[in-house]
Structure 1
């Protein structure tokens, strides 16, 4: 038996090898590109980066090169998928969370020096004794005055860990002093302003959808209801979106029953519906929503639901047109990928995403073209995609494929502006005037106990206007030929920036809204 086994063993072993090889090839066919025993092929992109790092003639920052390669890949997908370098992830996450750890000031760089514009009441800086008008010369022995440092770089110096100390060298009353500030949590309020604009009519300016937006909104609504709120103006102009779930929760407060608010769907994400799930706080009161070309994403989810259900009157201009949903994925090196995973649709099935087949540049340039082709001036110039026609629950025509068209169009008031206004904003001329005016007239302004008193009782003098033209001239902006209407508009804005110094955003919007055409139209609609 042993001799027979010795004879047949090589043959049996050979048959086993043949069978193994056959099975291996069949498995390879079942898994294209993979070998049964071998490891996956190396990524060509990583191979190229390794060769550059080890063989290239000059020293190269491979990490930076890798970031560039990722950006190029993402640009071939859609305009809103993005790679976030590790150095920027914290700021992005803070913006979503609606808070960060810092000192609690608003500042502007004037003549290469940080000037404190406002101090957050009861914030870390206020508790340490920082005042409006203080000039920061150094932060933790790092000089920041006269060195042309960017605002982003200064923010990185001011932000830090909770309860950590920061020493700032302050110039005040012609003297230097060192002040220690203990960093604390700073809330980035999603509500910019909220007040009763008229009897029974409330106004809420919602700036962005953070993770705490819904809670802040509910607290604001309850406060206004105690003051007699029956009708509401919800201002979503220049609200670029944020956390989708928060927009859905707010929509639920305006819609009754189990109405569909939105649904999302993607190639790798099954359809998901978002419906009303609780009795709302404001299901029956008259509602107007203000929108413009800066209204995007989660804001459009909210507006789309209200428009499709005929729940609100939308006033303003066509919204941005972003109907893509992104999810953020953390990567191993601390960076992150914000990847588009689905589209969202309004209750009647509209996708309001604008086309992006011509590339990112053309996609974002489309917004600028609205200002040059007349769309911001006349409703007839709005370019709706008539092939994507839908109807609201009440039978009104609405369109998909290019943002949300308002029910009532309000043009951008360009009669008073002739191009120079952009310089006033980019150079911070208006903000600087409000800051310097406040410092020079702090005692006189104390007679205005509330922002309402200021709105009704304050006006700029001829000397104040002359002072402003002097500041503008330093920024290479001549106002000698300004029209009467332009002057009236600018004076209202200057007044608003002064109010901002005292009451921050709430004072600013309360003052601006007195002459805001969209707000005035909203009041007209709500009074009918």
Structure 2
């Protein structure tokens, strides 16, 4: 028998054995899908109006495949991976903004405080319609980040549709070096400390502990207001360790993937530096991901009172998986759940007290005159006592913060009364 007849007989036997439920049938289906992809690739290479590099075509196919999964899965090349590392552990050039996709539209999740984006008036919920005159329709998150970032001193123009606005506006923003500091503090009244976490980076818990310790060495701590408003999230381990700082035991969060075996639980542990004073947490629609983990844990464990507005609802877990050529993919592999088993995804965390933010009245924002002392690098008066003047200025800043922020004012009044409320409950 000739070789051709032998091969033909083998092919016929294989075809007859391809029943719908067989592994051979599945392999055949996979082969057909790959064959179709190869055909399309060949047709583009041979017939497209411009010559295209095969590696770029395959990269585009991978990007499209991941983009179809969810807004947070994406392809990461080497340069983009470096940018991600810089964002979490160093400084980078940009405008200071965290963005996401909602209904295939590019949206501001939150501007980073004291950055060009924050000063330009960008807010959570704003839509970015154009970047430097180019439409953002169909753009990936990675592409948007690369277009917005750039060297310090160079401008980028965004076309923004503010939340509840009828017409978009063009906003020209000068890029700057975005600082890595993620924690700010301020004494609102003697014994009451305001702590703001801007986002969750590699050193967030360390910074938070430092600010608390710095205060407690000088003053007895009566209560804390933890501000997570417009905090877009960050590292999971930092969300867990920040929560652990205020909890001595119990579940903080758990993640659950497709398989039951993939469940991971994160618990609080008793520590010497645990913070036990009354606690109020401020949240809003710009609070996402890691900040929702903290808020959800402290709420479910009845450790803190949540005040403000419902959070963003970004409750998915992404992992970075390296590829053979040095690039990587960011893939959604699980969902976050609060200690009571509630998924954060697309639901968010509800505050205990729903208090909408009220913008300050015009008279509240214009009653502070601009003086010599407001100028950068102004000369200090040699006759004044610096410590007392500094203390006076800090008190004035705290007063101004409270005047302009109705949620913060309410939080301060509540944190004062929490011990009394707790005592009444135990009677």
Alpha-carbon distance in 1 for matches of 2:310, 2:79: 35
Alpha-carbon distance in 2 for matches of 1:76, 1:510: 49
- 1:203 is matched with which residue? 194
* TM-score, length basis structure 1: 0.53
SS at match of 2:65: helix
- 1:234 is matched with which residue? 226
- 1:219 is matched with which residue? 210
The 1:522–1:451 alpha-carbon spacing in structure 2 relative to 1, beyond 3 Å, is farther
Contact 2:224 2:279 in 1 (8 A): yes
The structure having more radius of gyration, on CA atoms, is: 1
The 5-angstrom pairing of residues 502-513 of structure 1 reads: 512-513=401-402
Alpha-carbon distance in 2 for matches of 1:67, 1:512: 48
1:438 equivalenced with 2:327 (yes/no): no
The offset of 1:237, in angstroms, is 0.8
**What runs of 5+ residues in structure 1 fail to find an aligned partner?**
1-9, 107-116, 119-149, 158-184, 355-401, 422-432, 458-506
What is the aligned-residue RMSD (CA, Å)?
4.3
Contact 2:253 2:336 in 1 (8 A): yes
- 1:352 is matched with which residue? 344
1:278-299 Cα distance to aligned partner (Å, 9 max, x none): 3363353100111111001111
Contact 1:256 1:280 in 2 (8 A): no
SS at match of 2:45: helix
Alpha-carbon distance in 1 for matches of 2:33, 2:72: 30
Alpha-carbon distance in 1 for matches of 2:42, 2:372: 53
1:525 equivalenced with 2:414 (yes/no): yes
Which of 290, 294, 297 aligns to 1:302? It is 294
Alpha-carbon distance in 1 for matches of 2:39, 2:153: 35
The offset of 1:524, in angstroms, is 0.4
Alpha-carbon distance in 2 for matches of 1:414, 1:514: 10
The 1:435–1:265 alpha-carbon spacing in structure 2 relative to 1, beyond 3 Å, is farther
- 1:161 is matched with which residue? none
The 5-angstrom pairing of residues 157-196 of structure 1 reads: 188-191=180-183, 193-196=184-187
Contact 2:337 2:344 in 1 (8 A): yes
The 1:445–1:45 alpha-carbon spacing in structure 2 relative to 1, beyond 3 Å, is farther
- 1:263 is matched with which residue? 254
- 2:392 is matched with which residue? 453
The offset of 1:46, in angstroms, is 5.3
- Tell me the matched-pair count: 328
SS at match of 1:233: strand
1:351-405 Cα distance to aligned partner (Å, 9 max, x none): 1211xxxxxxxxxxxxxxxxxxxxxxxxxxxxxxxxxxxxxxxxxxxxxxx2111
SS at match of 1:214: helix
Contact 2:283 2:351 in 1 (8 A): yes
